[in-house]
């Protein structure tokens, strides 16, 4: 019963006990691993409370307090924990448990990834290893001894520094590790296996020599080079930007194939999904390279924002995640094109986070009620959380923000703290009042800005009025309105000269007046996407075209084009035969001919994603939107055929480019291909690119074009690809993804066959997502088909995953619980599947929480 009760932020209480040290011994075995834990425990309160330890899926072998072995009548054992009515205020507690890593398909706690043992303890997985106070404000010094077969597991790893190792009987050996930094148990890690090891080192600004080690599956050594280079760049960046240097003598990263998420920042021993480590140009795309750099940096940055200063409780998750995402985004912006990086952040926010904020699981970046913590590693906590930090950065300036960070570490190093603690440090260091700003932490929903303008030609005055509204569209009250930084530029229509300014919207409605304008200026609003809001502002096509070419801010140039395209997509959804204006061709041919960064031009030519438009149209018919996207793409392809083709061939012929230039060049070439491939006779062009492609980026672009247009050669192209890559798991994932996104009426027969394919395994999260997740997000035409078969397919797979891996099941259900975005007939079909799932016996807590939220 207690397992299914929600917890509330308001109920936070300090732990009745603390644990200052924990000594762990693991005797590794596939099905019966023995875990011995020796802890120094101390009462914190004055009361007589019993010691209540968390524990799940454990077999308890023994409990000892000091030298006294307890019998079963000395404690209460339940499915969720162990309660000991202890009297002493300070004692040594010894607990021995047995666990089964082999059968652990949930991939939480200790599990097997292929032949290796590894752990995942965040958020509450340590309780699947031993009985413990599994909460982030209980911080202990960990010592861990790992014992295993020497031949099968030559590498035995844990957090901190190696302090002992040696041989044991029966072909076993051991290694003992000590982590001097007290930490919550969610940062504990253990890995045992046989790997190839890439070694390097880094000299910190404090002249500390740090050994850098990346462990990968045998044969993959060369594929770890990019991750290593990224790690060193991240280490240098954090020293330069925030004066933060690494603190241990060794930093290890292990890449595993079975992992629920991207990666995990365990102190000194990061565990990564191999997808975010392994890359070479033949097998990985430019996007893969970009993501590896970002995730490597993200986990590294956690060493300070998350590990040295951690969260008081899980409601504060955005304290470490929002801040660390902000840090990795800034880093990625510095390493790559800043504008293109920013555009990618905004696309994710608009196409996914806005939907989450409008759906049944909407929550503030600091949630107030949680049933299953794993359900709150969300786009809201991470991405919107990062936007909130970015707004603080905007309001304080880079220097004020850096001062705030310095004060934050001065105050809280080694502690478990709250989001309020962070904001207070920022406010105190910069002397900027952030009292009203804090409302961003407790309000859910995407704020809406309504904008109007007027021009007085007599007085040469320009007035800009902005009001703020909540998710439901109601004008915010003075008590609820947010502090919103609005960066903007006024562009003089004649000279094209702009004036930039930061407006601070703090009231429900405000008007700003600008003097000395001879003619009405064009306003570029929300430069660099300075706040995570929706903007309601009816700018004319002409004004948007001015912005596309003349706004100083790259984000605004891009955004104006997206607004123009969305406007016509909307018209096409309402009226499929709508005659699109020739002006669209004119402006986009100007964009194509403009001498911009090719990576940026590629973004300008990219149509808004399905999910972005869904969010803009009330109860949209998804097939009408699929068709609108097809029509607009065809219209642009036809009207721009010549310049697109010229641009394509120009890019294809370019040689002697720098690494960064080559990436931008490929992006531009491949967006041109995606247009040209919808025109008659595309087969030859796609086939030619496929046969000449020297890297995965170009190969995948061609295969995707083949899948989107259901080209006749699709099957033969895919089987050639399969024969070439069947031994490379990350590329096999790509193969499943392209198969799942094929626009073909027999897609459901194909999906059934793919589920039975020898390379498919629903137990591997990457593989499950590559097939099921990709069908759902990359094949809207069939996922949303009128028969409801798409929804039924998803529900059936979620049903299987409910028993195998609840975390993966719970993430895949997202589009179904967001049923209100679609027309009423889709809503009915989705609801039907939600009810089927709700009726399942043995529903996991993860799914139950979401289903109950969706079905009320
Ligand atoms: N802290 C991790 C990160 O953001 C997130 C994470 C990794 C995680 N694995 C997980 C969260 C498993 C929940 C469950 O870098
Ligand atoms: Zn993180």
Structure tokens at 17: 């006990």
Average pLDDT score over residue span 540-567: 97
Q: What is the pLDDT of residue 2?
A: 40
Ligand 1 centroid, distance to 259 Cα (angstroms): 10
- The CA 520 to ligand 1 mean position distance, Å, reads 50
Which ligand has the nearest atom to the CA of 262? 1
Mean pLDDT of the region 749-769? 98
pLDDT-derived band of residue 1, with 50, 70 and 90 as boundaries?
A: very low
- Site to substitute for ligand 1 among 262, 301, 377, most atoms within 8 A of C-beta: 377
Provide the pLDDT for residue 482: 98
User: Which active-site residues does the annotation give?
Assistant: 299
Q: Which atom of ligand 1 is nearest to the CA of 262?
A: 7
- Say if residue 14's pLDDT is above 80: yes
Ligand 1 atom 6: residue of nearest CA: 264
DSSP 752: H
Region 537-548: mean pLDDT is 97
Is there a contact between 119 and 109 (Cβ–Cβ < 8 Å)? yes
Task: Write out pLDDT tens, residues 369-419.
Answer: 999 999 999 999 999 999 999 999 999 999 999 999 999 999 999 999 999
pLDDT in tens, 642-654: 999 999 999 999 9
66: left (phi over 0), alpha (psi -120 to 50) or beta: left
Provide mean pLDDT across the span 168-175.
98
Q: Which of the four pLDDT bands, split at 50, 70 and 90, describes residue 124? A: very high
Among the bound ligands, name the one nearest to the CA of residue 276.
1
Cα angle 237, 389, 349; round to 5: 100
- Of the chain, the percentage scoring pLDDT greater than 90 comes to 98
Q: How confident is the model at residue 655 (pLDDT cuts 50, 70, 90)?
A: confident
532-560 mean pLDDT: 97
Beta bridge partners of 514: 462
pLDDT value at residue 656: 85
User: What's the pLDDT band for 528 if we cut at 50, 70, 90?
Assistant: very high
For residue 263, the ligand 1 atom closest to its alpha carbon is: 7
Residue percentage of the chain with pLDDT more than 70 = 100
- 3-state SS record for 268-313: CEEEEEHHHCCCCCCCCCHHHHHHHHHHHHHHHHCCCECCCEEECC
Packing angle of the helix pair 789-804, 824-838 (nearest 10 deg): 30
Judge contact between 487 and 552, C-beta under 8 A: no
pLDDT in the model for residue 3: 53
Q: Which ligand is nearest to the CA of 121?
A: 1
| Ligand 1 residue neighbourhood (C-beta within 6 Å) | 120, 122-123, 260-261, 263-265, 298-299, 321, 374, 377
Distances, alpha carbon 659 to alpha carbons 289, 598, 664, 699, in Å: 12, 13, 9, 18
pLDDT reported for residue 46: 81
**Token code pair at residue 383:** 């991405």
Helices (H), 677-770: 682-692, 696-708, 714-725, 729-740, 747-756, 765-768
| Residue among 624, 544, 538 at smallest CA distance from 584 | 544
Residues with CB under 5 A from ligand 2 (ion): 321, 324
Please tell me the distance between residue 261's alpha carbon and the centre of ligand 1 in angstroms: 6
**Is pLDDT above 90 for 26?**
yes
Sheet of strand 59-65, all strands in order from the earlier edge strand to the far edge: 68-69, 59-65, 90-99, 33-43, 17-27, 140-149, 172-183, 161-167
Give the pLDDT score at 494.
81
CA dihedral 555, 560, 563, 568 (to 10 degrees): -140
The predicted-structure confidence for 244-265, as pLDDT tens digits, reads as follows 999 999 999 999 999 999 999 9
Instruction: Confirm if 381 and 318 have CB atoms less than 8 A apart.
Output: yes
Q: What residue's CA is closest to ligand 1, atom 7?
A: 264
Q: Which atom of ligand 1 is nearest to the CA of 295?
A: 15
| Of 668, 648, 703, 734, residue with least CA distance to 340 | 668
Q: If you measure from the C-alpha of residue 302 to the centroid of ligand 2, how many angstroms do you get, rounded to a whole number?
A: 7
Q: How high is the mean pLDDT of the chain?
A: 97
Quote the Cα angle for 847-805-276, to 5°: 115
Three-state SS letters, 490-507:
EECCCCCCEEEEEEEECC
Give the model confidence (pLDDT) of 690-718 as tens digits: 999 999 999 999 999 999 999 999 999 99
End-to-end C-alpha distance for the chain, whole angstroms = 20
Q: Which atom of ligand 1 has the smallest separation from the CA of 123?
A: 13
The C-alpha atoms of residue 734 and residue 349 are separated, in whole angstroms, by: 24
Distance from C-alpha of 99 to C-alpha of 487, rounded to nearest angstrom: 55
Measured in angstroms, how far is the CA atom of residue 440 from the centroid of ligand 2?
20
Choice among 493-502, 522-531, 560-569, 726-735 with the minimum mean pLDDT:
493-502
Cα distance between residue 558 and residue 596, in whole Å = 12
């Amino acid at each position: 019963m207690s397992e299914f009760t929600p917890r509330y932020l308001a109920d936070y209480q300090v732990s009745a006990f603390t644990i200052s040290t924990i000594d762990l011994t693991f005797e590794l075995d596939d099905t019966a691993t023995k875990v011995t834990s020796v802890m120094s425990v101390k009462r914190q309160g004055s009361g007589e409370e019993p010691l209540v330890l968390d524990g799940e899926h454990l077999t308890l072998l023994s409990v000892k307090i000091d030298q006294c072995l307890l019998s079963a009548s000395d404690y209460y054992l339940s499915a969720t924990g162990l309660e000991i009515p202890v009297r002493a205020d300070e004692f040594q507690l010894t607990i021995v448990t047995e666990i089964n890593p082999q059968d652990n398909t949930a991939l939480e706690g200790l599990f097997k990834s292929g032949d290796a043992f590894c752990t995942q303890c965040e958020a509450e997985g340590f309780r699947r290893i031993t009985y413990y106070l599994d909460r982030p404000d209980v911080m202990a010094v960990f010592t861990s001894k790992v014992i295993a077969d020497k031949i099968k597991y030559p590498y035995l790893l844990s957090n901190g520094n190696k302090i002992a190792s040696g041989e044991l009987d029966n072909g076993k050996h051991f290694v003992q590790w000590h982590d001097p930094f007290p930490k919550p148990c969610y940062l504990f890690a253990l890995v045992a296996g046989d790997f190839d090891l890439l070694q390097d080192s880094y000299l910190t600004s404090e002249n500390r020599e740090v050994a850098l080690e990346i462990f990968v599956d045998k044969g993959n050594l060369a594929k770890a080079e990019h991750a290593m280079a990224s790690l060193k760049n991240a280490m240098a960046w954090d020293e330069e930007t925030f004066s933060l240097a690494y603190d241990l003598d060794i930093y290890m990263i292990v890449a595993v194939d079975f992992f629920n998420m991207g990666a995990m920042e365990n102190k000194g021993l990061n565990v990564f999904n191999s997808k975010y480590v392994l890359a070479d140009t033949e097998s990985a795309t430019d996007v893969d390279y970009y993501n590896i750099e970002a995730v490597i940096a993200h986990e590294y940055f956690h060493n300070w924002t998350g590990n040295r200063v951690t969260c008081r409780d899980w409601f504060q998750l955005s304290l470490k995640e929002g801040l660390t995402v902000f840090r990795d985004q800034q880093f990625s912006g510095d390493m790559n094109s800043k504008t293109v990086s920013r555009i990618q952040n905004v696309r994710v926010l608009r196409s996914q986070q806005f939907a989450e904020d409008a759906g049944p699981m909407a929550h503030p970046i600091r949630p107030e009620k949680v049933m299953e913590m794993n359900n709150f590693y969300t786009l809201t906590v991470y991405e919107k959380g990062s936007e909130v930090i970015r707004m603080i950065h905007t309001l304080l300036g880079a220097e004020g923000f850096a001062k705030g960070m310095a004060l934050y570490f001065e105050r809280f190093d080694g502690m478990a703290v709250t989001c309020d603690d962070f904001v207070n440090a920022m406010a105190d260091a910069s002397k900027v009042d952030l009292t009203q700003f804090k409302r961003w932490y407790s309000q859910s929903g995407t704020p809406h800005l309504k904008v109007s303008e007027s021009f007085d030609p007599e007085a040469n005055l320009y007035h800009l009025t902005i009001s703020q509204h909540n998710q439901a569209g109601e004008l915010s009250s003075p008590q609820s309105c947010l502090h919103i930084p609005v960066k903007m530029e006024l562009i003089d229509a004649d000279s094209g000269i702009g004036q930039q300014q930061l407006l601070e919207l703090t009231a429900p409605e405000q008007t700003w007046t600008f003097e000395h304008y001879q003619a009405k200026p064009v306003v570029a609003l929300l430069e660099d996407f300075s706040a995570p809001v929706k903007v309601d502002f009816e700018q004319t096509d002409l004004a948007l075209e001015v912005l596309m070419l003349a706004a100083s801010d790259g984000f605004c140039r891009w955004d104006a084009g997206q607004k123009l395209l969305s406007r016509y997509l909307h018209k096409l959804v309402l009226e499929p035969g709508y005659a699109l204006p020739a002006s669209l061709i004119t402006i986009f041919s100007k964009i194509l001919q403009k001498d911009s960064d090719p990576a940026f031009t590629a973004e300008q030519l990219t149509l808004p994603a399905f999910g972005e438009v869904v969010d803009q149209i009330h109860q949209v018919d998804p097939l009408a939107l699929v068709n609108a996207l097809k029509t607009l793409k065809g219209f642009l392809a036809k009207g721009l055929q010549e310049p697109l083709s010229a641009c394509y061939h120009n890019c294809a012929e370019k040689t002697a480019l720098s690494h960064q230039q080559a990436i931008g060049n490929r992006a531009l070439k491949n967006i041109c291909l995606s247009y040209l491939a919808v025109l008659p006779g595309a087969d030859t062009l796609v086939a030619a690119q496929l046969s000449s492609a020297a890297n995965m980026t170009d190969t995948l672009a061609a295969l995707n074009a083949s899948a989107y247009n259901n080209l006749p050669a699709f099957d033969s192209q895919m089987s050639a690809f399969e024969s070439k890559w069947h031994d490379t798991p990350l590329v096999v994932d790509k193969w499943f993804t392209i198969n799942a996104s094929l626009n073909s009426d027999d897609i459901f027969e194909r999906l059934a066959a793919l589920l039975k394919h020898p390379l498919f395994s629903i137990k591997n999260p990457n593989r499950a997502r590559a097939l099921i997740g990709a069908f759902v997000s990359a094949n809207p035409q069939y996922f949303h088909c009128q028969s409801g078969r798409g929804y039924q397919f998803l529900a059936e797979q979620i049903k299987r995953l409910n028993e195998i891996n609840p975390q993966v099941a719970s993430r895949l259900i997202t589009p179904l619980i967001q049923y209100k975005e679609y027309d009423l007939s889709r809503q009915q079909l989705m609801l039907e599947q939600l009810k089927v799932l709700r009726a399942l016996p043995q529903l996991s807590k993860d799914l139950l929480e979401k289903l109950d939220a969706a079905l009320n």
